[in-house]
Amino acid sequence: MPTHSLTLIGQFLQRELRNRFSGSFSGGLWALIQPLVQLAVYTFVFVHVFKARLPGSDAPGFVPFLVTALWPWTAFSEAILRSTTAVQENAALIGKIALPRKVFVFAAVGSSFLVHSLGFVAIVLILKLLGQRIDLAGLPLALLLYVPLLLLTTGLALVLSALQVFVRDLIQALGQILMLMMFAAPVFYARESLPEHLRHWLDLNPFTFYAESFRSVLLGYGHIEAPRLAIAVLVAVAAMLIGSWFFRRLDRHFEDFL
Amino acid sequence: MTHDAALPSVLVQASGLGKRYPKVFHRRDRLRALASLMTGRRGVDSIPVLHDVHLRVRRGESLGLIGENGAGKSTLLKLIAGVLTPSEGSVRVDGRVGALLELGAGFHPEYSGRDNVTMSAVLYGLKPAELRAKLDEIIAFADIGRYIDEPVKHYSSGMVVRLGFAVVAALRPDLLITDEVLAVGDEAFQKKCIRWIEDYLGGGGTLLLVSHSMYHVQKLCRHALWLRDGGVAAYGDVFDVTQAYLAYQERKSGEQAARSQKVDASQEFAVIGVALNGVAADRPTVLECGADLQVEARIHSRDGRLPVVAFGLARADGTPVYGVTTEMESVAPVRDGDTFVARIDFPRLPLLPGSYSLRVHSMDSEGVRAFDTVERAITIRGESREFGLVRLEHRWPDAVDRARRSDTEVPDGR
């Protein structure tokens, strides 16, 4: 990628982050407060109201179980939602200045991943401080898992943002689809909690691998199998390639439809 | 410097360039367009806005784009700037483009001028290191004082243009594209911009300018392209093209005026005919600079009373140049049957090249009330770098010396 594009992505990313935090009263602190509040709510609802327990004798507490999958999910779903409208929202700029349009998508995905992966690190550390059984040695590996997830997300985002230019109601449908996808992945529950005959259906959901792998490296709950890792990386790379092709195909015509 | 080379390299090359916008009114249309784009088939209903444009701009040249609203000027600029994708033909630009397509494009209203300068400089392709070196220069050029640290939403449109132009000026682009943005700034800033552009052109820069001001086009460009209904109506030397365009404009407004104003024979005094240099037809008269002009006006007087006839010359934009009436100089129109004829000669008309109109008014015998007006367009041809409307008689007491010192053109008061 040419340096100009990289500089542009850097600029738009900075601006995204500023837009998110500078207008708000608490500024950058909000990035930390939000996950903490969310965590408190989930702890209350799942641990104290639903009395959720995980199957297995050496199962981790429900809160770290939830956190390790929910934070990557938030990064994924927010990146998708933000980037889908990224091209459309920058229509004014696209019509006036010649610049590679994919930088808008990259900046939107990038900012979501940056905010939520930092939040992820913070919350993992907080849980550790609170005495949860977390393997901090697995944290670098967990961050490495964000790489294929980022590729997968960017690939999907390129397709969706290009489609959104033509089909404006895509973004409405997307909220529903993402919710469905979240509940169809082992985010709030463990694979083992499902009836036997439904369990393998989970593998059709690309996020299943990530939810289970994050838990595996940080909590030692389940383990990453090499073939599944290979498939996940392959899917991520394929998504990125297809996304780039799709975007490039429609890119030239955005201005006519915006 | 590139412009010293015998034949400078081609910077912009467009061949068979055309643009059609797809017709998308319904959601169905958008889906169909999407499908045909993905499958690579054509067949989306579209509206042509530009067709078959060939142009070539060499490094160091300056080209003015003129034409009426909706003629396709902005579309052509956007195609060259790379913002739009051509539907037909191709366009190639070999260099860094600085395009001022719209007021404050790329500015975010919530951010300060300083932040926006940073952002738009990066958008235009300035590297962060270059930007750091040039930031002060940009802010000094914009010259908007303490406003530089206020959000852009508090700016006047003039300030936005100042900032936008300052950024592009700092880019020192190979090709500068401006779309009628100079018209917004105040006079001092306009002058500053024009000075900058002249300096930029002098340094081998290349300019593409869209303007409705023939003055700016003639001042800054050596070539012009006139777009009419999406096609090239004329392309060549700036004086020939602007004059052809102005003549066309006047013919059009003349037709409109003629439609709206039928001869009203019931008027007490009606102008029923005007002939310029013996030609009575209502079409623009083209004169060489310094040629003679003879005007003959025929007035119908309902009651047979003697009319007063006024003749006036104005520039195309309405600025009066000169006006005189028969009554002022005690001349009586000559009776010819039931009409009166007034004639006036302007020997060696000193108007500078450009477009003018001649108006003939019929007035009552006392020269108090005007009854009827007929207007004729006059185009003065010729090349001149003098300013203003008329060539005033003048001489240079030191002219001999100057002529020897340099080869600059010495107006001789032809």
Q: Which domains does chain B have, with CATH numbers?
A: 2-248 (3.40.50.300), 266-381 (2.70.50.60)
CA distance B309 to B333: 8
CB-CB neighbors (< 8 A) of B77 in chain A:
none
What confidence tens digit (pLDDT) does each residue in B166-202 have?
888 888 888 988 887 666 667 788 788 888 888 888 8
CA distance A225 to A209: 10
- pLDDT cut 90: percent of chain A above it: 50
CB-CB neighbors (< 8 A) of A100 in chain B:
none
**Which residue from A3, A98, A167 is facing B30, i.e. has the nearest CB?**
A167
A71 token code pair: 């934070």
* Nearest residue of A to residue B168, measured between CA atoms: A97
CB-CB neighbors (< 8 A) of A250 in chain B:
34, 37-38
CA distance B300 to B267: 9
What confidence tens digit (pLDDT) does each residue in A195-242 have?
999 898 999 999 999 999 999 999 988 888 899 999 999 999 999 999
Q: For residues A50-88, b (16+ Cβ closer than 10 Å) or e, as one string?
A: eebebeeeeebbbbbbbbbbbbbbbbbbbbbbbbbbbbb
List Cβ neighbours of B79 (8 Å cut-off, separation of 6 or more). Answer: B14, B17, B19, B50, B85, B86, B91
Q: What pLDDT, on a 0 to 100 scale, did the predictor assign at position B2?
A: 43
Partner-chain contact B83 A8, CB within 8 Å = no
A5 token code pair: 């594009």
CA distance B265 to B300: 8
Residue B152 contacts A where some CB pair is shorter than 8 Å: no
Reported as type and span, the H/E element at residue B294 is strand B293-301
**Which residue from A93, A97, A167 is facing B31, i.e. has the nearest CB?**
A167
What confidence tens digit (pLDDT) does each residue in A89-106 have?
888 888 888 888 999 999
What confidence tens digit (pLDDT) does each residue in B273-314 have?
888 888 877 777 888 888 899 999 999 888 888 899 999 998
Question: A with B: how many residue pairs have Cβ under 8 Å apart?
Answer: 74
* Nearest residue of B to residue A91, measured between CA atoms: B106
What confidence tens digit (pLDDT) does each residue in B206-219 have?
999 888 888 788 88
Residue B403 contacts A where some CB pair is shorter than 8 Å: no
H helical segments located in A22-138? 30-42, 62-84, 86-89, 91-94, 102-129
B252 token code pair: 């059009």
Residue A94 contacts B where some CB pair is shorter than 8 Å: yes
Partner-chain contact A250 B125, CB within 8 Å = no
Partner-chain contact B106 A93, CB within 8 Å = yes
Q: Where are the beta strands (DSSP E) in B23-106?
A: 46-58, 62-66, 88-93, 97-100
Report how far apart the first and last C-alpha atoms of chain B are (Å, whole number): 37
Partner-chain contact B31 A11, CB within 8 Å = no
Q: For residues B187-199, b (16+ Cβ closer than 10 Å) or e, as one string?
A: eebbebbeebbee
What confidence tens digit (pLDDT) does each residue in A136-160 have?
999 999 999 999 999 999 999 999 9
In 3D, which of B276, B268, B324 has the Cα closest to residue B300? B268
B364 Cα to chain A: minimum distance (Å): 57
ipTM at complex level: 0.76
pLDDT band of B5, cuts 50, 70, 90: very low
Partner-chain contact B22 A256, CB within 8 Å = yes
CA distance A187 to A225: 19
